Structure 1
Amino acid sequence: MSELVDAGGAKVRVRESGDPAGDPIVMLHGIGRGLEDWAPQHELLPGAHRVISMDLLGFGLSDPPPGPMTLSRLAEGVYEALDALGVQRPVHVFGNSLGGAVALSMQATRPERVSRVVLAAPAGFGHEVVLDLRLLTIPGLGHVLLRHVSRAAARRAERALYHDGSFVTEERIEHAMRAAARPGRPELFLDVVRELGTVRGIRPGWRSALLADVSRHPRPTLIVWGDRDRILPAHHMTAARKALPHAQSHVFADTGHLPQVERAAEFSALVGSFLEASR
């Protein structure tokens, strides 16, 4: 079950499981997505942890805050939601895709509140990104493409996330359409896309600045990727290893952009071993 908490004046949807007294894990999704992308891990991660997933500000079923949306504002929104939940101790932060960049932003801005980092196909380690996201940066075209999301478009977007098409369920498509139809969603989506990228790909400026900040506050880190990722290609792992030489890494075979879903059991086992070994 999920609930809404007040994060700096905006309602943010969160889901919790595990031991309320345990070390907290917070799990963050990608652009245009929601906490459902971490649902399997609520059942699989060690029960000794307090496991929290959330819809980032303005995404999923969370409210947008006033003003333009930026990467740093998304990171601050996570901290605001954690404050509302009474989580003050350092967290293990897991981030998929955009959520990976948000996790790194959290580490860069408030390193004392981050204990360990798990990055699943994170944004920020290469310029290539799927064409659909690059097209949204073109003035005028982005609004047209996001004004009405058809079922066919929602299905194509879901299919691009997985190597195994059986994960593209009607339930996931319905939720994607519901989230896309929320007021203000196109504007917020475009704010984020245009801050982070252009029609040519992901901007290098924010990536280099963020990684420089992160390097000053290293934390035990695990990076995972799917070798069939069609959103952010797996060869970005090479740049990730170079930028974070202390990090452990793993590539899942026959896996798309959401290894925490498509390889849920293997992912949780890998993460469990990482958390235990880095204590």
Structure 2
Amino acid sequence: MTIVERETATAYLAEGLVEYRLKGESPETVVIFHGGHMRAALALGEEVFTTSGPSGHQVLVPSRPGYGRTPLVTATTPAAFADLTARLCDELGIERIAAVVGISAGGRTALTMAARHPDLVCRVILQSAVGFGPWPDRRTRLAGRLAFGARAEAATWAAVRLLMRAAPRAGLRLLLRDLSTRPVGQVMAGLSEHDRAELVALFTLMRSGEGFVNDMLPVPDCAGQVTQPTLIIASRTDRSVPFAHAESLAATIPRAELAESRADGHMIWFAPDYPTIARRIKDFLATA
């Protein structure tokens, strides 16, 4: 993977403005709901989808409300944004979604879309995803509102960019500490130089807009209404989204399977066992 900003488009729908990126020309489409501090212009872990199947899948990545060029007023809840994404698919001529993917804080939107649009969505893939249990913890919620509120988020990310330029190793240690239950030195030691460079690039490009504070609001639990086959990928050492979220979803969704990543925390794409996880994803997409 290469972390760079990519070109995006916007659509003006009845609900409002939405930013999105559509990559590929395959008749098979995967919709990806990114996690917190991300947007459509940033790609993370998409290669597994674009290389799956004889001709790969095209990926549709909308910026969730409050991120990128999708204003929060477009859709303030996962249910509203799920409906908007279904409308966007219709506008783009997408009649079937091979899989909807929920990454981290985008997990609840993916699950909500699957529950509300079962005739459109064929499968669900969750990666380090937030479920419907308590999230985040009280400390993170308070810190998140302070650091990523409307008045502070631009300054917070400006400080992160400055740190990543001046002292990238120290910057990585600071940010990875909140993503793993393991000692940060152990996490750093498990990363290759290439992985560290990719993470520095990713953290340098992140922004929160109004999205992250909105992500921390409670969402109605619809896991029991998800009837599609669901692949849940999570690590037991994830500090950002506790493994209990994955276990709860696996126990509630009727056709769920849980794949445990050996990653040192939240960032499963940078773990030595990710090739095994990627094969699991490709096999899952290939199932009838």
Same-fold call, TM cutoff 0.5: yes
Partner residue, 2:3 = none
Residue 52 of structure 1 corresponds to 59
**Which residue, 42, 45, 48 being the options, matches 1:41?**
48
C-alpha change, 1:36 and 1:16, in structure 2 (3 Å) is: same
Aligned letter for 1:252?
S
Kindly state the Cα deviation for residue 80 of structure 1 after the two structures are TM-superposed: 3.7
Alignment of 1:191-270 (within 5 A): 191-193=214-216, 195-196=217-218, 206-208=219-221, 210-211=222-223, 215-260=224-269, 262=271, 263-270=273-280
The Cα shift of 1:87 comes to 0.7
Distance 1:217 1:144, change over 3 A: closer
Deviation at 1:230, TM superposition (A): 1.8
Q: Is the 8 A contact 1:100 1:123 kept in 2?
A: yes
2:106 maps to 1:83: no
Check the 8 A contact 1:55/1:62 in 2, yes or no: no
Which residue is equivalent to 2:212? 189
- % same residue: 20
Aligned pairs, how many?
258
Partner residue in 1 for 2:32: 27
Contact conserved, 1:3 with 1:14, CA < 8 A, in 2?
A: yes
Alpha carbons 2:111, 2:226 under 8 Å: kept: no
* Correspondence for 1:64: 71
TM-score by length of 2: 0.73
Deviation of the 1:223 alpha carbon: 0.9
Whichever residue aligns with residue 213 of structure 2, its letter is L
TM-aligned CA distance change 1:50 to 1:98, over 3 Å: same
**Offset at 1:147?**
4.1
How far apart in 2 are the matches of 1:13 and 1:67? 13
Query: How far 1:54 moved relative to its partner?
Result: 1.3
Range with bigger deviation, 38-47 or 227-236? 38-47
Identify unmatched segments of 5+ residues in structure 1.
Answer: 197-205
Deviations 1:160-184 (A, max 9, x none): 447444476455545544442xxxx
Q: Distance in 2 between matches of 1:141 and 1:61?
A: 14
* Aligned 8 A contact 2:179 2:238 in 1: yes
| CA distance, structure 2, for counterparts of residue 16 and residue 56 of structure 1 | 14
Aligned-partner SS, 1:88: coil
Matching of residue 272 in structure 1 with residue 272 in structure 2: no
Aligned 8 A contact 1:61 1:179 in 2: no
Give me the whole-angstrom Cα distance separating, in 2, the residues matched to 1:158 and 1:82.
35
CA–CA separation in structure 2 for the residues paired with 1:27 and 1:67: 18
2:99 touches 2:121 (CA, 8 Å); kept in 1? yes
Q: C-alpha deviations, 1:4-40, integer Å up to 9, x for none?
A: 14152424131413x522x222222111123412333
Deviation at 1:252, TM superposition (A): 1.2
Contact conserved, 1:41 with 1:264, CA < 8 A, in 2? Answer: no
1:48 positional shift: 3.1
The TM-score with structure 1 as length reference comes to 0.75
Contact 1:2 1:14 in 2 (8 A): yes
Q: Please, which moves more after superposition, 228-237 or 94-103? A: 228-237
Residue-by-residue CA offset, 1:108-132 (whole Å, 9 max, x unaligned): 2222111111111221243253666
* Unmatched segments (≥5 aa) in structure 2: 1-5, 165-170, 181-186
Aligned with 1:38: secondary structure? coil
**Shift in Å, 1:186:** 3.7
Amino acid at match of 1:270: R
Name which of structure 1's ranges 255-264 and 228-237 shifts more when overlaid on structure 2.
255-264
- The letter of the residue matching 2:30 is I
Tell me, yes or no, if structure 1 residue 101 matches structure 2 residue 111.
Answer: no
